[in-house]
């Protein structure tokens, strides 16, 4: 079995997070590139181990993580990045997506219950802010300082369906878009 850097980092996070009463060492320096190379079980474990963290401020750079852990993940992320660039978090409790054409599709931002594990998460809900995307809900947690792992759900009649993961880098300084 080949051990990759993200696997080692994930194992360290899980050990530190699961040790009650232990002082947490310096958090691992996960990057968006690390998240792009993780499998779905690794991303879910990382998400479950993370706390809500702080709400990002201003513009972030984003990458979609479609079919995590497959050979198609990185090329799909590059293709989606041509359209979706990230998110801009505003002081009024909303967020707006950054796209190739500028800013579009606003969501309400609040702390709520995760559809993945029931724990607190930062929810980005489009239900009341967008007709086209009212069936979409994002949730995200800070997995490393300034790095967020997000999940995008589609509201279906049978219940929520996880459509894709995404990563945000709040430390990056994107150009105006």
Kindly state whether residue 142 falls inside one of the protein's structural domains: yes
Kindly state whether residue 67 falls inside one of the protein's structural domains: yes
Kindly state whether residue 106 falls inside one of the protein's structural domains: yes
Statement: residue 167 has pLDDT above 70: yes
- What is the pLDDT, as a whole number, of residue 40? 97
Kindly state whether residue 177 falls inside one of the protein's structural domains: no
Dump pLDDT digits (tens) for 32-87: 999 999 999 999 999 999 999 999 999 999 999 999 999 999 999 999 999 999 99
pTM more than 0.85: no
Maximum separation of any 2 CA atoms in the chain, in Å:
49
- What is the pLDDT, as a whole number, of residue 12? 45
Q: Is the dihedral of CA 70, 56, 60, 12 positive or negative?
A: negative
Kindly state whether residue 78 falls inside one of the protein's structural domains: yes
Percent of the chain with pLDDT over 90: 80
Identify the burial level of 168 via C-beta atoms within 10 angstroms of its C-beta, where 0-12 means exposed, 13-18 middle and 19 or more buried: buried
Q: Considering the chain, what is the average pLDDT of its residues? A: 87
Please give the Cα distance from 77 to 122 (Å, whole number).
23
Kindly state whether residue 160 falls inside one of the protein's structural domains: yes
Number of domains in the chain: 1
DSSP-derived secondary structure letter, 51: B
Dump pLDDT digits (tens) for 137-147: 999 999 999 99
Please count the other Cβ atoms lying within 10 Å of the Cβ belonging to residue 130: 16
Kindly state whether residue 41 falls inside one of the protein's structural domains: yes
CA dihedral 93, 148, 71, 79 (to 10 degrees): 40
- What is the pLDDT, as a whole number, of residue 171? 87
Give residue 15's pLDDT band: very low, low, confident or very high (50, 70, 90). Answer: very low
Contact indicator for 177, 98 with CB cutoff of 8 Å: yes
Kindly state whether residue 56 falls inside one of the protein's structural domains: yes
Residue-number span of the structural domain to which 41 is assigned? 5-169
Dump pLDDT digits (tens) for 123-133: 999 999 999 99
């Amino acid at each position: 079995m080949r051990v990759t850097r993200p696997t080692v980092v994930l194992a360290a996070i899980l050990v530190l997070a699961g040790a009650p009463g232990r002082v947490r060492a310096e958090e691992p320096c996960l990057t968006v590139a690390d998240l792009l190379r993780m499998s779905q079980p690794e991303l879910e474990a990382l998400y479950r181990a993370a706390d809500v963290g702080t709400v990002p401020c201003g513009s972030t750079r984003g990458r979609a993580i479609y079919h995590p852990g497959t050979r198609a993940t990185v090329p799909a992320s590059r293709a989606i990045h041509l359209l979706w660039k990230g998110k801009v978090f505003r002081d009024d409790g909303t967020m707006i997506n950054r796209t190739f054409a500028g800013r579009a599709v606003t969501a309400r931002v609040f702390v709520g219950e995760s559809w993945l594990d029931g724990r607190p998460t930062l929810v980005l809900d489009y239900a009341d802010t967008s007709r086209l995307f009212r069936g979409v809900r994002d949730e995200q947690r800070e997995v490393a300082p300034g790095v967020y792992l997000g999940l995008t759900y589609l509201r279906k009649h049978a219940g929520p369906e996880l459509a894709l993961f995404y990563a945000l880098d709040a430390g990056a300084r994107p150009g105006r878009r």
